Amino acid sequence: MDLGECLKVHDLALRADYEIASKEQDFFFELDAMDHLQSFIADCDRRTEVAKKRLAETQEEISAEVAAKAERVHELNEEIGKLLAKVEQLGAEGNVEESQKVMDEVEKARAKKREAEEVYRNSMPASSFQQQKLRVCEVCSAYLGLHDNDRRLADHFGGKLHLGFIEIREKLEELKRVVAEKQEKRNQERLKRREEREREEREKLRRSRSHSKNPKRSRSREHRRHRSRSMSRERKRRTRSKSREKRHRHRSRSSSRSRSRSHQRSGHSSRDRSRERSRRRY
Among 166, 224, 170, 205, smallest CA distance to 34 is for 170
Task: Provide the mean pLDDT of the chain.
Answer: 79
pLDDT digits (tens, 9 = 90+) for 6-23: 888 889 999 899 889 988
How far, in Å, CA of 263 to CA of 257, rounded?
10
In the chain, what are the domain boundaries? 63-132
Kindly state the average pLDDT of the residues 175-192: 89
Q: Helix (H, G, I), strand (E, B), or coil: what is residue 135? A: strand
Residues 165/38, Cβ–Cβ less than 8 Å: no
Residue 256 confidence (pLDDT) above 60 = no
Q: Helix (H, G, I), strand (E, B), or coil: what is residue 177? A: helix
The pLDDT of residue 49: 92
The pLDDT of residue 167: 92
Residues facing 143 on adjacent strands: 136
Confidence band, pLDDT 50/70/90 cuts, at residue 155 = confident
The pLDDT of residue 171: 94
Residue 216 confidence (pLDDT) above 60 = no
Confidence band, pLDDT 50/70/90 cuts, at residue 250 = low
